[in-house]
Amino acid sequence: MKSLSDSALAARVAQDIPDGSYVNLGIGKPTHVSAHLPEGREVLYQSENGLLGVGPVPPTGTEDPELIDASKRFVTPATGAAYFDQTDSFAMMRGGHIDIAVLGAYQVAENGDLANWATLDEKYPPAVGGAMDLVVGVPTILVMMRHVNRDGSPKLLKTCSFPLTGLGVVSRVYTDLAVLDVTPAGFRLVELAPGNSLDAVQALTEATILT
Amino acid sequence: MDKTVADLARAVAPITDGASIMIGGFGSSGIPFGLIDALCAQGTTGLTVISNNAGAGETGIATLLKAGRVAKVICSYPRTPGSIWFERRYEAGEVALEVVPQGTLAERIRAAGAGLGGFLTPTAYGTRLAEGKETRVIDGRGYVLEAPLHADFALVRAEHGDRYGNLSYHATARNFNPVMAMGARHTIAEVRHLASEPLDPETVITPGIFVQGVVEYGVRP
């Protein structure tokens, strides 16, 4: 198996972000997508804590402690940025004003169900943040994740076993092994990461991959 | 009209045991650290804390959790890097947790402040967070009926304030502060700069009608 690095995966997702989009990048791996946006495209990234137009991380020593993104990283405002409060921020999401969200996931099912906020471990406190608001309002939900769990168990399933974030909301999944569209018939292969075979990727996927 | 209070201790004095308190901020930005420390020093306990996060490290809401003053947390994202005191209290069963999607949390607070009886949102429809709640299908889409979320007090942090209670904010420190100021029955604002002249009306984000006490606290996190 040839697994894409996190950076290569972020670059692959970035290729599919059109010029002029408003995009929300979830915490973790998705935050790296903006660094790989192809030249010549202008995209405004929304951070749900109240910034539309997330710019680069500031040089050390110039950080503003009250200017952070949803991952709590210090950031700068991009050209054309705006600040706003939480009610406006979530109106942007639920109201369908954001074009694309890129999210991490514990599990994705072949009908587009997404599980990314709680596990089955009762001792581990669940944390939903803005994920449920994003998936109901943003028309294109892209998931970016490892193809399998650390123990090798599949994350692309017939049915999610973890509590759901949203029902039938995922448009496309990018993993270190493949890109898959969610269609009414199930996962359909868009492309394999270089050096991988469909048989090998299918063996690591509980759901059937259509071609 | 003068809503200024001389110091932090006097500002939090009206808060009594068992109160529900909205606390502004997201991550470490826009958190009223001075008011929280004063509340902790006052010894008030049995609190219900409504905030986006549940504190990190040994500051902010974590100081209240560490001191055992919090009976319940209502938030969207309790688990942040370094949220050790929340995790300890939660694992030991010493603090109750209600997880609310972030946009629903903001809107429930707004509903309380705006005099609404609730609202229908598609957020969480069909998930565990909608269990036991009334739902409705409108034009083929499922919605969950969410109730207003009231609180006895709000502690907010602003960049500028004046004696009328008018507030303006800095960068992403705005976050939950304006809506919480509106949602609580008694709002106490910690401001980095207390202006000697009234703020320019064009720059006011939170109109002073939503604020009952203003105290200057120049320290930045």
Burial B85-104 (b: 16+ CB within 10 A, else e): bbbebbeeeebebebbbbbb
For residue A69, what are its two tokens? 């993104």
Please tell me the predicted confidence (pLDDT) of residue A126.
87
What is the per-residue pLDDT across B106-134, written as a single tens digit (0 to 9) for each?
999 999 999 999 999 999 999 999 999 99
Is A48 part of the annotated catalytic residue set? yes
Position A123 confidence tier, pLDDT thresholds 50, 70, 90:
confident
* pLDDT higher than 80, residue B158: yes
Please tell me the predicted confidence (pLDDT) of residue A91.
98
Q: By the 8 A CB rule, do B37 and B163 touch?
A: no
Question: In chain B, where are the structural domains located?
Answer: 8-100+149-216
Q: By the 8 A CB rule, do B81 and A72 touch?
A: yes
Position A120 confidence tier, pLDDT thresholds 50, 70, 90:
confident
What is the per-residue pLDDT across A147-205, written as a single tens digit (0 to 9) for each?
999 999 999 999 999 999 999 999 999 999 999 999 999 999 999 999 999 999 999 99
| Phi, psi (deg, nearest 5) at residue A152 | 90, -5
Taking an 8 Å cut-off on Cβ atoms, the answer to whether B127 and A51 are in contact is no
Nearest by CB to B126, which of A51, A83, A167? A167
Q: By the 8 A CB rule, do B94 and B45 touch?
A: no
Please tell me the predicted confidence (pLDDT) of residue A122.
78
Position B79 confidence tier, pLDDT thresholds 50, 70, 90:
confident
Task: Give the number of C-alpha atoms closer than 13 A to the C-alpha of residue A137, restricted to the C-beta side.
Answer: 23
**Edge-to-edge strands, sheet with A107-109:** A114-115, A107-109, A156-157
ipTM for the assembly: 0.95
Question: In chain A, where are the structural domains located?
Answer: 6-40+96-210
Q: What is the mean pLDDT of residues A119-137?
A: 90
Please tell me the predicted confidence (pLDDT) of residue A84.
98
What does pTM read for this prediction? 0.96
Q: What is the mean pLDDT of residues B177-195?
A: 98
pLDDT cut 70: percent of chain B above it: 100
Q: Report the DSSP pairing between strands A51-54 and A107-109.
A: unpaired
Taking an 8 Å cut-off on Cβ atoms, the answer to whether B103 and A133 are in contact is yes
CA distance, residue B214 to nearest chain A CA (Å): 20
Position B56 confidence tier, pLDDT thresholds 50, 70, 90:
confident
Superfamily of domain B8-100+149-216 in the CATH hierarchy: Glutaconate Coenzyme A-transferase (3.40.1080.10)
Pairwise CA distance, residues B201 & B193, whole Å: 16
Q: By the 8 A CB rule, do B39 and B154 touch?
A: no
Mutate to test the interface with B, among A48, A121, A128 (most CBs of B within 10 A): A128
Point out the catalytic residue in the list A39, A42, A48, A122.
A48
CA distance, residue A106 to nearest chain B CA (Å): 15
Of the CATH numbers 3.40.190.290, 3.20.190.10, 1.10.600.10, 3.40.1080.10, which one belongs to the domain with range A6-40+96-210? 3.40.1080.10
